Structure 1
Amino acid sequence: MPLSPEQQAEIDTLRATPKPTLRAVSEGMEAHLYKAIPVLDHGFVRVIDYMGDDAAICQAARVSYGKGTKSVSNDAGLIRYLMRHWHSTPFEMCEIKLHVKLPVFVARQWIRHRTANVNEYSARYSILDREFYIPEPGALAAQSVVNNQGRGAVLEGAEAARVLEILKADSNRAYDNYEAMISDEGQQGLARELARMNLPANIYTQWYWKVDLHNLFHFLRLRADVHAQYEIRVYADAICSVVADWVPAAFAAFEDYRMGGVTLSSKALDCLRRMLKGEEVTQENSGMSKGEWREFEGVLGE
Structure 2
Amino acid sequence: MTVELVRANAGDADVLFAARVSTKGEQSLEDVDADASKSAGLINYLMRDRHGSPFEHNSMTFYVQAPIFVFREFMRHRIASYNEESGRYRELRPVFYYPGPDRNLIQQGKPGAYEFVPGTPEQTALVEREIKASCTQAYQSYQRMLEAGIAREVARAVLPVTTYSSMYVTMNARALMNFLSLRTKREGTHFPSFPQREIEMVAEKMEDFWADLMPLTYEAFNKNGRVAP
How far apart, in 2, do the equivalents of 1:151 and 1:166 lie?
24
How far apart, in 1, do the equivalents of 2:40 and 2:124 lie?
48
Corresponding position of 2:175: 215
Corresponding position of 1:53: 11
Corresponding position of 1:159: 123
- What letter matches 1:160 in structure 2? T
Corresponding position of 1:249: 216
* 8 Å CA contact 2:98, 2:127 repeated in 1: no
Q: Once the 2 structures are TM-superposed, how far is the Cα of residue 67 of structure 1 from its aligned partner?
A: 4.4
Corresponding position of 1:174: 138
TM-score computed with the length of structure 2 as normaliser: 0.88
- What letter matches 2:106 in structure 1? A
Residue by residue over 1:257-289, the C-alpha shift from the partner in whole angstroms, topping out at 9 and shown as x without a partner, is 133x8xxxxxxxxxxxxxxxxxxxxxxxxxxxx
Q: Once the 2 structures are TM-superposed, how far is the Cα of residue 173 of structure 1 from its aligned partner?
A: 1.0
* 8 Å CA contact 1:47, 1:98 repeated in 2: yes
Corresponding position of 2:70: 106
Match status 1:229 vs 2:211: no
Q: Once the 2 structures are TM-superposed, how far is the Cα of residue 97 of structure 1 from its aligned partner?
A: 0.7
Q: Pick from 36, 42, 48 the counterpart of residue 84 of structure 1.
A: 48
Instruction: Classify 1:149/1:239 alpha carbon distance in 2 versus 1 (closer, same or farther; 3 Å).
Output: farther
How far apart, in 1, do the equivalents of 2:130 and 2:197 lie?
20
Q: Once the 2 structures are TM-superposed, how far is the Cα of residue 94 of structure 1 from its aligned partner?
A: 1.4
How far apart, in 2, do the equivalents of 1:219 and 1:76 lie?
23
Bigger shift: 225-234 or 78-87?
225-234
Unaligned runs of 5+ in 1: 1-42, 262-302
Bigger shift: 224-233 or 148-157?
148-157
Q: Once the 2 structures are TM-superposed, how far is the Cα of residue 160 of structure 1 from its aligned partner?
A: 2.5
* 8 Å CA contact 1:143, 1:151 repeated in 2: yes
How far apart, in 1, do the equivalents of 2:48 and 2:176 lie?
17
Corresponding position of 2:191: none
* 8 Å CA contact 2:80, 2:171 repeated in 1: yes
Match status 1:192 vs 2:159: no
Q: Once the 2 structures are TM-superposed, how far is the Cα of residue 144 of structure 1 from its aligned partner?
A: 2.4
Instruction: Classify 1:219/1:123 alpha carbon distance in 2 versus 1 (closer, same or farther; 3 Å).
Output: same
- What letter matches 1:182 in structure 2? L
* 8 Å CA contact 1:97, 1:208 repeated in 2: yes
TM-score computed with the length of structure 1 as normaliser: 0.68
How far apart, in 2, do the equivalents of 1:110 and 1:121 lie?
15
- What letter matches 2:198 in structure 1? E
Bigger shift: 151-160 or 228-237?
151-160
* 8 Å CA contact 1:140, 1:160 repeated in 2: no
Q: Which structure 2 residues correspond to residues 263-282 of structure 1 after superposition, within 5 A?
A: none
Computed over aligned residues only, the root mean square deviation of the Cα atoms, in angstroms, reads 1.6
> Number of residues paired by the alignment?
214
Higher relative contact order (CA 8 A, sep 6+): 2
Q: Once the 2 structures are TM-superposed, how far is the Cα of residue 142 of structure 1 from its aligned partner?
A: 1.8
* 8 Å CA contact 2:96, 2:163 repeated in 1: yes
How far apart, in 2, do the equivalents of 1:82 and 1:118 lie?
28
